[in-house]
Amino acid sequence: MKDIARQSMSIKVESMDLLNGQIKMEAHASATYLAMASWCEQNGFFTSAKFFFKQAEEEREHMMKIFNFLVDTGGNPISPEVTNINHDYSSIVDVFESTLEHEVKVTKSIHNIVMKSRELGDLATEKFLDWFVLEQVEEENTIRDILDMIEVTGTEGVGLQMIDTHVANWIE
């Protein structure tokens, strides 16, 4: 039997499933950052809002990168359902702490797909994810730096507004 299936699709369906899961995760991240932007706007942290609007856009770009990879490899990209977006935060510190938590979760998920694609011998998926591995180092580092800045600035008195102003340093 001629291998016409392999001619139409260049990755394994298991990798495709994992990447569809990651599409969902990036979409969820994008929606979560949009909710954070909304919270920041409503609570007077306008610079932080700008930061999260930009983050939301970036996460959507990540999602599209994976989506297009599945198109290129002949897979079946699935437009994700996004549910359960949290809009409640107790403070701006809570917002950034949740962001770091979220990014660490994303990093773990990407590492998991890299390890699985390595097991499957799926070199294309593994190489494709190189960019994401490094991007996650950047993203985690940014949020850690902001949390360090928050710690130095302190939340007493005008601290909260100073925090918001300083966030501008992380908006390119």
Give the interface with another protein as residue ranges (CB under 8 A). Answer: 1-6, 8-9, 12-14, 16-17, 74-76, 78, 120-122
Note whether 129 and 110 are within 8 A (CB): yes
Distance between CA atoms of 161 and 47, rounded to whole angstroms? 10
Between 112 and 169, whose beta carbon lies closer to another protein? 112
Q: Which pair of tokens denotes residue 93? A: 């510190």
Pick from another protein, Fe ion, none: which does 6 bind, CB < 5 to 8 A by kind?
another protein
Which of Fe ion, another protein, none has residue 126 at its interface (CB below 5 to 8 Å by kind)? none
In angstroms, the CA 87 to CA 80 distance is: 20
Q: How far is the CB of 26 from another protein (least distance, A)?
A: 19
**Six-digit token pair at 28?**
């969820």
CA dist 93 and 148 (Å) reads 11
Nearest residue (CB) to another protein, 16 versus 167: 16
Please state the closest distance from residue 60 (CB atom) to another protein, in A.
22
